[in-house]
Amino acid sequence: MAVCVAVIAKENYPLYIRSVPTENELKFHYMVHTSLDVVDEKISAMGKALVDQRELYLGLLYPTEDYKKRYGYVTNSKVKFVMVVDSSNTALRDNEIRSMFRKLHNSYTDVMCNPFYNPGDRIQSSRAFDSMVTSMMIQVC
Amino acid sequence: MELCGATRLGYFGRSQFYIALKLVAVAQSGFPLRVESINTVKDLPLPRFVASKNEQESRHAASYSSDSENQGSYSGVIPPPPGRGQVKKGSVSHDTVQSRTSTDQQEPASPVVSPQQSPPASPHTWRKHNRHPSGGNGERPLAGPGPFWSPFGDAQSGSAAGDAMWSGHSPPPPQENWVSFADTPPTSTLLTMHPASVQDQTTVRTVASATTANEIRRQSSSYDDPWKITDEQRQYYVNQFKTIQPDLNGFIPGSAAKEFFTKSKLPILELSHIWELSDFDKDGALTLDEFCAAFHLVVARKNGYDLPEKLPESLMPKLIDLEDSADVGDQTGEVGYSGSPAEAPPSKSPSMPSLNQTWPEMNQSSEQWETFSERSSSSQTLTQFDSNIAPADPDTAIVHPVPIRMTPSKIHMQEMELKRTGSDHTNPTSPLLVKTSDLSEENKINSSVKFASGNTVADGYSSSDSFTSDPEQIGNNVTRQRSHSGTSPDNTAPPPPPPRPQPSHSRSSSLDMNRTFTVTTDFYVHTGQQQAGVVAHPPAVPPRPQPSQAPGPTVHRPVDAEGMITHTSTSPQQIPEQPNFADFSQFEVFAASNVNEEQDDEAEKHPEVLPVEKASDPASSLRVAKTDSKIEEKTAASAPANVGKGTTPLAPPPKPVRRRLKSEDELRPEVDEHTQKTGVLAGVLASQPSIPRSVGKDKKAIQASIRRNKETNTVLARLNSELQQQLKDVLEERISLEVQLEQLRPFSHL
């Protein structure tokens, strides 16, 4: 169950960020921000395979907290998806995370297809995207 | 209005607004509306306001009231942005404009509220509003303060007529106002629609009558489906489409559509949402249907309707993939099914009811497939799928399932295909056949793949035969295959298409016959070079002529198919086999005539059969391949049994017969066992002997071989069924294990 989902543009500014409004969301924002560094690190690391479709890295920060692992995902256009998951109840399998990112990616491309959406704008118009993210955040793993 | 004296003032001032609210409360509590009631009933419960409804209602009220009040100002409504900034609680003269614009404003301002209700709901509330005569008037001013809308409708569950009329109200405005998109003041049109209501604000009676008259008129237009596109609207949309894209079947690219819809001066956010709704296939371009839907939504939005969360059913573009109907089913119930299917011809709503109505014949044909619907999750999908396939000749080769943009449907389509193939052959185990073929593939039988595809193809050709599966034959086939590999001259390795040997064998029937005979005896000993040769024929194709000779067309056919499959690659060999195979397929057609031909007639048949067989050859060859693979599978399981069985079918007196039998044997095990088919085969076999043989001495041999083949068929069929059952069990076990694994996994971390 994702507690926070963020879409970061190529220039590392957020296009979309949404959290489960339980705790102070600022913390989530901060986590996402810090994870960007790690994402960039990984991007630059793999030079040959341009962009790995899916890079998962567990427990990036906050190792003390037993949950809230962060996962990253980078598209071919350097758009990053960062997801903070709460795995206290169940450990999310790798495949599940991948499928969640895949869904995110699909919804993102649908948003892109909308000619009224300018790339680089905040994703605020797509209700389908919102609903998809909501479903991900509500889903019980 | 008059009650609250707003009319006198000409605007809905604060006091008037309060009075109107009080009236609302009165109405809601069921008290008659009187000026005195406001004062007497002091302790009225606060009027209940439902924000979302209110907005809808206010919007509608505004639309209607604007018609009535601000004909002139209506044009002001068309470009919503100007009115945006106006306060909700404004003068009545501006209320209508404001209400419209405010609705637009409210759209961004209170996005949570506005999208909640689709227009169909608002007509409903409208109805309730208008029931209350004074409330109707009062509603207009209340349209401004959207959030304060009380559920007038809730309070007034009044006359159905009023409700009906109001419900009719909502659709007409969009229909009327669609012209406004072109910036033509529709006031005239609106006036025609609301002549009475427009004028009378002062007298409740007049208004009531007017509203009722209008409501009645409205209701008649489209009761349950305010999103339906009328013909003239659609024509207008189509014309607009042509201005952008002359080809009606083409697409409007996203950029062009963006320009076009930006002209409507709707906010980008709403346009984006409209696009999201209308671009059904998410391809960034609009087809004609999508464009009409988008246009219609824009028009509706400009008229003050909230955009729905989901695309209304009537606006759903009719896609070829019927899966959309499943989506339609999920559509909000507000968009009723009632009118759309029957009414708007252009609106091709893929709803199930409409589908059923529009494709009655399809449904009938789909009933055949209904049995398979159990497999698919959605019978709707299944039915529609059938309608797609129904036109195709079911007996022809399996329709390749290439669903158009329906990923989930693919599953259904594949299922359907499996089912269809099964249905063609009356073989419910056809999916199993595929599975078994998969298994056989695992057994490293390349032909199995071909067989699977060939099965489907073959199904069309020889429906019943292909699936006969005799355990014996399976074993025989397997052994044959192996022997084939050994007997290079006769047939190349069974898995790869055994080319040459087949034709040679078929030709030299006498030699083959001898070999077949001997082989049958040593069938499972793998000594059968001869056997292999004979077998090769069946797998490769040579069996074709033989099948005709062999007893029972059905028996031969599968055999031929098997032979053909294995020898598919070797076309020359297969050619003679193909004729055989063709004979098989046509065996039933030819009944006994082919049986007798055996060797002597082989040559004759070849030319005849060639064309036929070639068609069926690939199928049969595939099947043979599969059966071969199966045979191998099953041989392992039933080698001993096969040995015994193998001997039996191997005694066709004429060599071609023998070959055919062998091919049959090979084919049978491959084919999904079908006890029925074995029965059929047995019947056919029985009939075979009765067929007069051109060659006298062959007759007995053929009959014997027929008998043998029958026995082999039955045994192989039994074996096939057993193996399939085992396969099912194994799959079930696997599934259960996976489930257990899933259950255990979460705990592993704890």
Which positions in chain B touch A123 (Cβ < 8 Å)? Answer: none
User: Is A113's CB within 8 Å of B257's CB?
Assistant: no
Q: What is the mean pLDDT of residues B96-107?
A: 40
User: Is A125's CB within 8 Å of B749's CB?
Assistant: no
Which positions in chain B touch A117 (Cβ < 8 Å)? Answer: 272
User: Is B272's CB within 8 Å of A114's CB?
Assistant: yes
Distance from the Cα of residue B224 to its chain's centroid: 26
User: DSSP string spanning A1-26?
Assistant: -EEEEEEE-TTS-EEEEEE-TTS-HH
ipTM over 0.85: no
* Percent of chain B whose pLDDT exceeds 70: 19
At B723 the pLDDT is 94
- Close Cβ partners of A131 (under 8 Å, ≥ 6 residues apart): none
Helix pair angle (B696-748, B600-647), 10° resolution: 50
Contact B549, B656 (CB under 8 A): yes
- Partner B contacted by A12 (CB < 8 A): no
| Domain at A120, CATH number | 3.30.450.70
Residue A87, in any domain of the structure: yes
Residue B372 to residue B359: CA distance in whole angstroms: 19
User: Is B284's CB within 8 Å of A91's CB?
Assistant: no
Determine which helix (DSSP H) or strand (DSSP E) holds B502, and give its type and residue range. helix B501-507
**Chain B closest-CA separation from residue A136 CA (Å):** 19
Residue B700 to residue B705: CA distance in whole angstroms: 8
- Partner A contacted by B255 (CB < 8 A): yes
User: Is B257's CB within 8 Å of A115's CB?
Assistant: yes
- Partner A contacted by B257 (CB < 8 A): yes
Q: What is the pLDDT of residues B8-65, one digit of tens each?
A: 455 556 666 776 677 676 676 665 555 555 555 445 455 555 544 444 444 444 444 4
Which positions in chain A touch B279 (Cβ < 8 Å)? Answer: 113-114
Residue A38, in any domain of the structure: yes
Q: How confident is the model at residue A97 (pLDDT cuts 50, 70, 90)?
A: confident
Closest-CA residue in chain A for B748?
A: A91
Question: Which one, of B42, B19, B57, lies nearest residue B154 by Cα?
Answer: B57
User: Is B279's CB within 8 Å of A114's CB?
Assistant: yes
Distance from the Cα of residue B251 to its chain's centroid: 23
Which positions in chain A touch B309 (Cβ < 8 Å)? Answer: 127
Among B115, B258, B746, select the one facing A90 at the smallest CB separation.
B746
User: Exposed, middle or buried, B268 (CB in 10 Å: 0-12/13-18/19+)?
Assistant: middle
Maximum C-alpha span of chain A: 44
The values of phi and psi at residue B689, to 5°, are -55, -30
Has residue B196 got a pLDDT over 50? no
- Partner A contacted by B361 (CB < 8 A): no
Which positions in chain B touch A125 (Cβ < 8 Å)? Answer: 268-269, 272-273, 276
Q: What is the pLDDT of residues B65-90, one digit of tens each?
A: 444 444 433 333 344 444 333 333 33
Q: What is the mean pLDDT of residues B195-222?
A: 43
Buried b (16+ CB within 10 A) or exposed e, B393-421: ebeebbbebebeebeebebbbebbbbbbb
At A141 the pLDDT is 37
User: Is A90's CB within 8 Å of B258's CB?
Assistant: no
Residue B614: CA atoms inside 13 Å, Cβ hemisphere, count? 8
Tokens of B520: 């049958």
Better-scored residue on pLDDT, A132 or B617: A132
Q: Is the pTM of this model over 0.80?
A: no
Q: What is the pLDDT of residues B445-458, one digit of tens each?
A: 444 444 444 444 44
Has residue A8 got a pLDDT over 80? yes
- Partner A contacted by B14 (CB < 8 A): no
Among B282, B748, B749, select the one facing A110 at the smallest CB separation.
B282
At A51 the pLDDT is 52
- Partner B contacted by A19 (CB < 8 A): no
Could you give the number of structural domains in chain A?
1
Question: Which one, of A74, A71, A75, A78, lies nearest residue A97 by Cα?
Answer: A71
Question: Which one, of B597, B467, B588, B496, lies nearest residue B543 by Cα?
Answer: B597
Q: Which range marks the domain in which residue A72 is found?
A: 2-136
Which positions in chain B touch A115 (Cβ < 8 Å)? Answer: 254-255, 257-258, 275, 284
Q: What is the mean pLDDT of residues B360-382?
A: 42
Which positions in chain B touch A127 (Cβ < 8 Å)? Answer: 115, 273, 276, 309
User: Is A113's CB within 8 Å of B254's CB?
Assistant: yes
Which positions in chain A touch B111 (Cβ < 8 Å)? Answer: none
Tokens of B131: 């029931």
Which positions in chain A touch B257 (Cβ < 8 Å)? Answer: 115
B279-283, B431-435, B569-573, range with greatest mean pLDDT: B279-283
CA distances from B597 to B462, B576, B680, B694 (A): 20, 14, 21, 6
Residue B126 to residue B136: CA distance in whole angstroms: 9
Residue B444 to residue B591: CA distance in whole angstroms: 37
Neighbours of A124 (CB within 10 A): 14
Closest-CA residue in chain B for A112?
A: B284
Closest-CA residue in chain B for A113?
A: B284
- Close Cβ partners of B44 (under 8 Å, ≥ 6 residues apart): B22, B25, B26, B29, B31
Which positions in chain B touch A58 (Cβ < 8 Å)? Answer: none
At B140 the pLDDT is 40
Q: What is the mean pLDDT of residues B347-357?
A: 41
Q: What is the pLDDT of residues B257-313, one digit of tens each?
A: 888 888 878 788 788 888 888 877 777 788 888 888 888 888 888 887 777 777 777
Question: Which one, of B484, B503, B491, lies nearest residue B544 by Cα?
Answer: B503
**Chain A closest-CA separation from residue B283 CA (Å):** 7
User: DSSP string spanning B425-483?
Assistant: TT-TTHHHHHHHHHHHHHTT-HHHHHHHHHHHHHHHHSHHHHT--BHHHHHHHHHHHHH
CA distances from B317 to B241, B313, B328, B362, B746 (A): 15, 9, 10, 20, 43
Q: Strand B252-253 relative to strand A14-19: parallel, antiparallel, unpaired? A: unpaired
Closest-CA residue in chain A for B269?
A: A125
At B249 the pLDDT is 77
Of A67, A114, A117, which to mutate for an interface test with B (greatest number of B Cβ within 10 Å)? A114
Residue B214 to residue B64: CA distance in whole angstroms: 10
Distance from the Cα of residue B83 to its chain's centroid: 46
Of A116, A117, A129, A132, which to mutate for an interface test with B (greatest number of B Cβ within 10 Å)? A116
- Partner A contacted by B280 (CB < 8 A): no
**Chain A closest-CA separation from residue B330 CA (Å):** 15
Contact B411, B600 (CB under 8 A): no
Closest-CA residue in chain B for A127?
A: B273
User: Is A114's CB within 8 Å of B257's CB?
Assistant: no
Closest-CA residue in chain B for A107?
A: B282
CA distances from B269 to B187, B274, B277 (A): 28, 9, 12
Has residue A35 got a pLDDT over 70? yes
- Partner A contacted by B320 (CB < 8 A): no
Has residue B720 got a pLDDT over 80? yes
Residue B534 to residue B745: CA distance in whole angstroms: 54
Residue B697 to residue B705: CA distance in whole angstroms: 13
Residue B689: CA atoms inside 13 Å, Cβ hemisphere, count? 16
At B730 the pLDDT is 95
Residue B517 to residue B661: CA distance in whole angstroms: 10
User: Is B258's CB within 8 Å of A117's CB?
Assistant: no
- Partner A contacted by B294 (CB < 8 A): no
Query: Which residue has tokens 């007509």?
Result: B123
Residue A141, in any domain of the structure: no
Distance from the Cα of residue B8 to its chain's centroid: 61
Q: How confident is the model at residue B728 (pLDDT cuts 50, 70, 90)?
A: very high
Please name the residues between 38 and 97 in chain A that touch chain B, using a CB distance below 8 Å. Answer: 90-91, 93
Residue B311 to residue B308: CA distance in whole angstroms: 7
Q: What is the pLDDT of residues B667-703, one digit of tens each?
A: 444 444 445 544 454 554 444 444 444 567 888 889 9
Which positions in chain B touch A90 (Cβ < 8 Å)? Answer: 746, 749
Q: How confident is the model at residue B360 (pLDDT cuts 50, 70, 90)?
A: very low
User: DSSP string spanning B631-700?
Assistant: HHHHHHHHHHHHHHHHHGGG--SSHHHHHHHHHHHHHHHHSPP-HHHHHHHHHHHHHHHHSPPSSHHHHH
Q: What is the pLDDT of residues B496-505, one digit of tens each?
A: 554 454 444 4
At A45 the pLDDT is 67
Integer Rg of chain B from CA:
38
At B749 the pLDDT is 55
- Partner B contacted by A126 (CB < 8 A): yes
**Chain A closest-CA separation from residue B735 CA (Å):** 18
- Partner B contacted by A116 (CB < 8 A): yes
Of B270, B272, B277, which to mutate for an interface test with A (greatest number of A Cβ within 10 Å)? B272
Residue B454 to residue B204: CA distance in whole angstroms: 78
- Partner A contacted by B746 (CB < 8 A): yes
- Partner A contacted by B107 (CB < 8 A): no
- Chains A and B form CB pairs within 8 A to the count of 46
Residue A63, in any domain of the structure: yes
Question: Which one, of A82, A103, A86, lies nearest residue A40 by Cα?
Answer: A82
At B713 the pLDDT is 92
DSSP one-letter code for B565? H
Which positions in chain B touch A128 (Cβ < 8 Å)? Answer: 276
Q: Strand A2-8 relative to strand A69-74: parallel, antiparallel, unpaired? A: unpaired
